């Protein structure tokens, strides 16, 4: 199987999308190699992971073709970087909500020809992907959904808008009643922007169906995450991270069905004690900033150091699926309000105060049976970085071994990270 895996290329499609084909065609072999080393080298992976392997094989071809086809059929295709995008609205309009490229070091030098160096690597990477024509997803979208969750993003949208239409939604930074009213207005504006593409208004039944579809997706991910908490672990942290990353660009109903199939397999595995790591393996939970595809750096280091990751409290993690939308909304307006209430529960560190997140981390830590918490902060992400102080205090109070790590996508600190992670594992094993 290892030798068969190959990330596919489609130069004709990439040319149609006006990409830098000469440069981009070097990417699939690199990703193939990386994926083989990090994922396919694992032993005893669940069989249902085969679907997710195929999603990576088709990441620059099959899935892109689906986007292009949808667009040709007049459906909205919206790119995003954030879990605050009200994707039910896109779904209701028959469209596609796609997480864009932003997890690679490769395009950071491109971005740094324009942007300052000392900002978040995810923002730099994403901007670099667009200006260098290196992300097929970016090339295929109608518009990019941007939000105001941090300064680097907010100001980069102004520059990005010159390259691709960027709709900015204001996300307030407090959660009072008046902030909710603002938020609801922003949701309605977003709905109008999506409706402009399809040329008609989203119907109540369409929104209701979309809410059901995405609730089902989030519930499937909750079910999966509950199962992976089983000790000994039936699935690796790397595979779990991968699934949560794929959640951002796959077709929701298909993805949900596959996740549920995987859950069925894991249930059997747990019953038969068919696991990926013996019970004595140190169990680590990761919290903090998102890890966008193909950012597998920290997970790879932690699991190669002999531990297993048992939870990700992150945007690409539980923050994306811990809450579902209340389906009791009777009218379209009711539904939009319930939708807004659900999005307001997301505990991004851009909010102040944000103590709900601290409680959430501790609750997930306890549920996952972890023995230590590593808080991951993308370099220059001030809000998560500062919030790590409160998280440390909470962990000290609870007697939870805690370590915070600040890193970017470059390989230069891998040696130091490895030492810190191994020392942390030694510490929790003593």
Partner 1 sequence: MHVGIDLGSRAIKLAAVKDGQLVASEVVNSSFEPHKQAAEMIKRYAPQFVAATGYGRHLAQKHFAQQVITEIKAHALGAKHLFPDCRTILDVGGQDSKVIALDPQGRVAQFQMNDKCAAGTGRFMEMMAASLGYSLDEFSLAAAASDETVAINSMCAVFAESEVVSLRNRGTAPEAIARAIHLSIVDRLSSMLDRVGLQGELVFSGGVARNSVLVDLLAKRLGRTVSVPNAPEIVGAYGAALYLGARAKAA
Q: Which residues bind partner 1 (CB under 8 A)?
A: 406-407, 412-413, 415-416, 419-420, 422-423, 426-427, 430
Q: Which is nearer to partner 1, 225 or 407 (CB)?
A: 407
Cα(202)–Cα(92) distance, integer angstroms: 7
CA atoms within 13 A on the CB side of 319: 26
Beta carbon of residue 378, minimum distance to partner 1 (angstroms, whole number): 13
Beta carbon of residue 379, minimum distance to partner 1 (angstroms, whole number): 8
Cα(309)–Cα(32) distance, integer angstroms: 23
Within 8 A by CB and 6+ apart from 327, the residues are 208, 211, 212, 215, 338
Beta carbon of residue 71, minimum distance to partner 1 (angstroms, whole number): 41
Cα(101)–Cα(123) distance, integer angstroms: 10
Cα(348)–Cα(373) distance, integer angstroms: 18
Cα(224)–Cα(49) distance, integer angstroms: 13
Beta carbon of residue 430, minimum distance to partner 1 (angstroms, whole number): 5
Q: Which is nearer to partner 1, 29 or 415 (CB)?
A: 415
- Whether residue 225 contacts residue 311, with contact meaning beta carbons closer than 8 Å, is answered with yes
Q: Which is nearer to partner 1, 112 or 406 (CB)?
A: 406
Q: Which is nearer to partner 1, 132 or 385 (CB)?
A: 385
Buried b (16+ CB within 10 A) or exposed e, 261-280: ebbebbeebbeeeebbbeee
Q: Which is nearer to partner 1, 151 or 422 (CB)?
A: 422
Beta-strand ranges (E) seen in 328-401 are 372-378
**Phi and psi torsions of 174, nearest 5°:** -130, 165
Beta carbon of residue 321, minimum distance to partner 1 (angstroms, whole number): 31
Q: Which is nearer to partner 1, 164 or 414 (CB)?
A: 414
Q: Which is nearer to partner 1, 306 or 353 (CB)?
A: 306
Q: Which is nearer to partner 1, 18 or 412 (CB)?
A: 412
Beta carbon of residue 384, minimum distance to partner 1 (angstroms, whole number): 15
Cβ neighbours around 109 below 10 Å, total: 11
Burial of residue 415 (CB within 10 Å: 0-12, 13-18, 19+) is exposed
Helix, strand or coil for residue 208? helix
Cα(19)–Cα(7) distance, integer angstroms: 17
Q: Which is nearer to partner 1, 189 or 422 (CB)?
A: 422
Beta carbon of residue 389, minimum distance to partner 1 (angstroms, whole number): 11
Beta carbon of residue 80, minimum distance to partner 1 (angstroms, whole number): 30
Per the document, the length of the chain is 430
Which two tokens mark 347? 């505990």
Beta carbon of residue 380, minimum distance to partner 1 (angstroms, whole number): 12
Cα(189)–Cα(358) distance, integer angstroms: 32
């Amino acid at each position: 199987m290892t030798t068969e895996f190959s990330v596919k290329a489609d130069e004709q499609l990439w040319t149609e999308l006006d990409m830098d084909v000469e440069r981009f065609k070097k990417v699939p072999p690199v990703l193939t190699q990386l994926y083989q080393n990090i994922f396919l080298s694992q032993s005893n992976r669940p069989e249902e992971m085969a679907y997710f392997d195929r999603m990576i094989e088709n990441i620059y071809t099959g899935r892109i073709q689906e986007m292009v086809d949808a667009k040709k059929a007049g459906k909205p295709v919206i790119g995003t970087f954030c879990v605050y995008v009200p994707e039910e609205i896109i779904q209701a309009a028959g469209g596609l909500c796609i997480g864009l490229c932003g997890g690679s070091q490769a395009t950071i030098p491109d971005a740094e020809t324009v942007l300052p160096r000392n900002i978040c690597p995810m923002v730099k990477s994403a901007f670099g992907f667009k200006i260098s024509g290196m992300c097929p997803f970016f090339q295929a979208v109608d518009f990019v959904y941007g939000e105001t969750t941090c300064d680097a993003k907010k100001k980069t949208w102004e520059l990005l808008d010159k390259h691709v239409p960027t709709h900015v939604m204001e996300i307030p930074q407090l959660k009072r009643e008046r902030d909710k009213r603002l938020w609801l207005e922003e949701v309605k504006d977003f709905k109008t922007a999506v409706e402009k593409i399809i040329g008609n208004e989203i119907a109540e039944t369409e929104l209701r169906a979309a809410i059901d579809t995405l609730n089902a997706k989030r519930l499937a991910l909750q079910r999966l995450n509950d199962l992976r908490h089983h000790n000994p672990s039936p699935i690796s942290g790397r595979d779990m991270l991968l699934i949560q990353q794929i959640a951002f660009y796959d077709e929701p109903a298909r993805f949900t069905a596959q996740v549920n199939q995987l859950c069925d397999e894991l249930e059997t595995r747990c019953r038969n004690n068919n696991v990926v790591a013996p019970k004595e393996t140190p169990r680590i939970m990761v919290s903090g900033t998102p890890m966008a595809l193909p950012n597998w750096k920290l997970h790879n280091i932690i699991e190669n150091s002999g531990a297993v990751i048992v939870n990700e409290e992150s945007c690409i993690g539980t923050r994306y699926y811990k809450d579902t939308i209340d389906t009791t909304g009777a009218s379209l307006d009711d539904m939009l309000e319930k939708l807004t209430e659900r999005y307001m529960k997301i505990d991004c560190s851009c909010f102040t105060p944000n103590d709900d997140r601290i409680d959430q981390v501790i609750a997930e830590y306890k549920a996952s049976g972890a023995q230590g918490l590593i808080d991951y902060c993308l370099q220059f992400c001030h809000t998560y970085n500062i919030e790590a102080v409160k998280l440390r205090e909470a962990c000290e109070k609870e007697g939870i071994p805690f370590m915070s790590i600040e890193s970017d996508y470059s390989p230069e600190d891998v040696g130091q990270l490895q030492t810190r992670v191994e020392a942390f594992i030694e510490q929790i094993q003593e």
